A and B are shown apart, each in its own frame.
Chain A
Amino acid sequence: MSVWERQYRDAAAGLTSPAALDDKILQQAQQLKPPLSENRWLSKAASSCAAVTVLVLLMHPAQYLGALTPGLQPAHGAQNNPLRNWQHKPSQPTPGNDPWFHLRSQVNAGSYIELCNQWRKQQQGSTSEKLPRDLESKARTHCRLLP
């Protein structure tokens, strides 16, 4: 910057924009509102469409085609039916409804003395109570070895 350019800067520093003009222009800037663009409508339309899409997806019956509804399964899909191989699991024996509960629990615990006594009585015909089939087979297996 040459000397006279510096002198110019110093001289021109006193020349500033009038405050009245500044106020007028800044006031005009304050009055301007943000433009109402089409984006607002666009965003409204977009959000409405998105909401409708979600609703349709949630309510559309196609969504439930894979659901396990046995009554609506087609005939050829029977092999996929989980009810096909359903078996009733026998309820665990309880002391209330099983007269052989005590004996059976002894056998399960590994004690065959009572079972073999009962088995011998049955063999001798001194008792009218007949062992159930499972206990009978266990008695045949184990009681020969017992004295």
Chain B
Amino acid sequence: MSWKDFQHLDDESLLEYYHATRNPNAFRQLYTRHKDSLYRYCAQMNLACAGAVLEALWNRLLESPPQLHGRRLRSWIFIRANQLLRQYAGQDPDTPDAAPVSDNKLLAAIQQLPTIERNVLLLHMECGLPLATVADIEKTSLKKCREFYNRGKERLEEILHGPQRQPWRIEEVSEVTV
């Protein structure tokens, strides 16, 4: 099969084909589809160990491709990346997880979010995972996960544009008697 033939296959079919044949072109197609999104997620979560995490993740997929049992490969990839990020962060606690990724104002603002809010925000927004899956990854309820997401968005707005404007309030001026 040529490169063009793989473009019509979805991730799961590609993985199945790669699992059966170890065709490097099938893997290349899979890698190309997810590499940038994965890198953006890992780099924004922990820039120091993003390379090592990605290497470990893809090596695992190369050596023993996962049995998906009807689940989406994209979910598996990001769940696995999240696990590896936690492992690497636990191994080396001195490594700061929030490092400057870019000079961009918005990306810098995302780095200022608490880890859990950043993770929820990135998994949903960057990785395209549904909030239910993100809740499973964070081991919280869907309601809580939605709260994290909304709070993260509000905090970002605040970092970027300052605190929300408050309505004018006329303060009563107490008469000072001389």
Residues in A lying within 8 Å of B, measured CB to CB: 4-5, 7-8, 11-12, 14-18, 21-22, 24-26, 28-30, 32-35
CB of B55 within 8 A of CB of A25, answer yes
Q: Given A8-B106, A11-B106, A33-B22, does the pair A26, B31 have CB atoms closer than 8 Å?
A: yes
**Min CB gap B72→A, angstroms:** 21
Chain B residues near A25 (CB-CB < 8 A)? 31, 54-55, 58-59, 62
Q: Given A17-B36, A17-B54, does the pair A28, B62 have CB atoms closer than 8 Å?
A: yes
Kindly state the separation between the CA atoms of A34 and B28 in the bound complex, as whole angstroms.
16
Interface of A is mostly: helix
CB of B35 within 8 A of CB of A4, answer no
Interface residues of B in 56-107 (CB under 8 A from A): 58-59, 62-63, 101-102, 104-107
Kindly state the separation between the CA atoms of A4 and B152 in the bound complex, as whole angstroms.
12
The interface size bin for chain B is 20 to 34
CB of A15 within 8 A of CB of B40, answer yes
**Min CB gap A45→B, angstroms:** 21
**Min CB gap B96→A, angstroms:** 18
Interface of B is mostly: helix
User: Please, which residue of chain A has its CB at the minimum distance from the CB of B54?
Assistant: A21
B123: Cβ under 8 A from any A Cβ: no
**Min CB gap A24→B, angstroms:** 7
CB of B39 within 8 A of CB of A16, answer yes
Kindly state the separation between the CA atoms of A18 and B40 in the bound complex, as whole angstroms.
11
Q: Given A12-B107, A16-B36, A17-B36, does the pair A32, B22 have CB atoms closer than 8 Å?
A: yes
